[in-house]
Amino acid sequence: MLKYHSLKELVSAAENAGLTISRLVLSDQAESMETAPEQLYETMRNSFEVMKKAVQTGQAKDQRSMSGLTGGEGYAMKAYSEKNAGGLCGPFMTRAISRALAVAGCNASMGRIVAAPTAGSCGILPGCLVSLYEDRNFSEKDIVMSMFTAGAFGMVIANNAGIAGAQGGCQAECGSAAGMAAAALAELMGGTPQQCADACAIAIASQLGLVCDPVAGLVEIPCIKRNVSGLMVAFSSADMALAGIGPKIPPDECIDAMREVGNAMPAALKETAAGGLAATPTGLKLREQVFGK
């Protein structure tokens, strides 16, 4: 049985078995849960369906959050991409950005999402995977299997650093999600187990120190846009790892560093809405707008 205590363990086990991390994890989970692999796969496939539907919900023109502070970002980005031939980032990436915004917006409007690993970072993994499925014609089976890899990496991060903004800042949420997505993307592109771990490490290092400062204490500003940053980091980290550009600092040490940085953060920067953007004059006015004085 896998312990999910380190990425080194996952990589070594997959290499020794001659398997991708996703297939190793699916087999391990089926054994530990005494459940047929087909049943676990179907459960994960259903999660992918939720992701796709969340994109559709969040891309609606009239999508608005419960607070009224945000809404329509997914639609606006999609329209911009179509009108401007993909803008600066190109059609594929701007559509991916739209999807990340859409899922985060769906969450803000109390829609159904997959917390991967948290509601605050819910747009990153779907933004990546739905884009490969819809725009690059990756098979549903490969996409769903990559979610097992993302989940396994998330378990290691949760066990060794934490995934809650209240515990480690936004690096624990969007940083973890970016690392999980980068690993999934690397595997989807035919990367080795070690390249998956390297992609995760690069992503975590790129988000290290990101604070959690939700305006009015709501998972909207700047959270929704930070999902886009995490998505971009995931894609670029996977490409670097696949190009043979390693993280230099071993993946498990990057996770340990994230824990140490999170522990060093003041409470004002860990989901309390007492610092950062939440404490700016405009941030305080927006809080009053929602909750009154």
Query: What is the distance between the alpha carbons of residues 284 and 217, in angstroms, rounded to a whole number?
Result: 10
CB neighbours of 101 closer than 8 A, spacing ≥ 6?
Answer: 58, 73, 74, 77, 123, 127, 224, 225, 227, 228
Instruction: Give domain status of residue 159, yes or no.
Output: yes
| Beta bridge partner(s), residue 212 | 270
CB 126 within 8 A of CB 114: yes
**Burial group, residue 158, by CB count within 10 angstroms (0-12, 13-18, 19+):** middle
Decide: helix, strand or coil at residue 212: strand
Instruction: Give domain status of residue 90, yes or no.
Output: yes
% of the chain exceeding 70 in pLDDT: 100
What pLDDT score was predicted for residue 264? 98
Instruction: Inform me whether the pLDDT recorded for 37 exceeds 90.
Output: yes
Averaged pLDDT score across all residues of the chain: 98
Task: Please count the other Cβ atoms lying within 10 Å of the Cβ belonging to residue 5.
Answer: 13
Report pTM.
0.97
Q: Of 80, 155, 145, which is closest to residue 116 (Cα–Cα)?
A: 155
Instruction: Give domain status of residue 13, yes or no.
Output: no
CB neighbours of 53 closer than 8 A, spacing ≥ 6?
Answer: 112
Query: What is the distance between the alpha carbons of residues 39 and 19, in angstroms, rounded to a whole number?
Result: 20
Instruction: For residues 212-220, give the mean pLDDT.
Output: 98
Instruction: Give domain status of residue 6, yes or no.
Output: no
Instruction: Inform me whether the pLDDT recorded for 293 exceeds 90.
Output: no
Range of the domain at 81: 25-291
Query: What is the distance between the alpha carbons of residues 229 and 250, in angstroms, rounded to a whole number?
Result: 23
Give per-residue pLDDT as tens, 102-122: 999 999 999 999 999 999 999
Query: What is the distance between the alpha carbons of residues 266 and 216, in angstroms, rounded to a whole number?
Result: 18
Give per-residue pLDDT as tens, 164-175: 999 999 999 999
Instruction: Give domain status of residue 17, yes or no.
Output: no
For residue 249 the two structure tokens come to 């600092």
Instruction: For residues 211-236, give the mean pLDDT.
Output: 98
CB 121 within 8 A of CB 114: no
What pLDDT score was predicted for residue 120? 98
| Band of residue 57 on the pLDDT scale cut at 50, 70, 90 | very high
What is the number of structural domains in the chain? 1
What pLDDT score was predicted for residue 90? 98
Instruction: For residues 32-53, give the mean pLDDT.
Output: 98
Instruction: For residues 73-97, give the mean pLDDT.
Output: 98
Instruction: Give domain status of residue 1, yes or no.
Output: no
| Beta bridge partner(s), residue 270 | 212
What pLDDT score was predicted for residue 167? 97
CB neighbours of 104 closer than 8 A, spacing ≥ 6?
Answer: 58, 73, 122, 123, 219, 223, 224, 227
Instruction: Give the helix ranges, DSSP H, for 37-139.
Output: 37-58, 73-83, 91-108, 124-135
What pLDDT score was predicted for residue 203? 98
Instruction: Give domain status of residue 251, yes or no.
Output: yes
Look at the block and give the residue holding tokens 């600066």.
88
Instruction: Inform me whether the pLDDT recorded for 256 exceeds 90.
Output: yes
Instruction: Give domain status of residue 4, yes or no.
Output: no
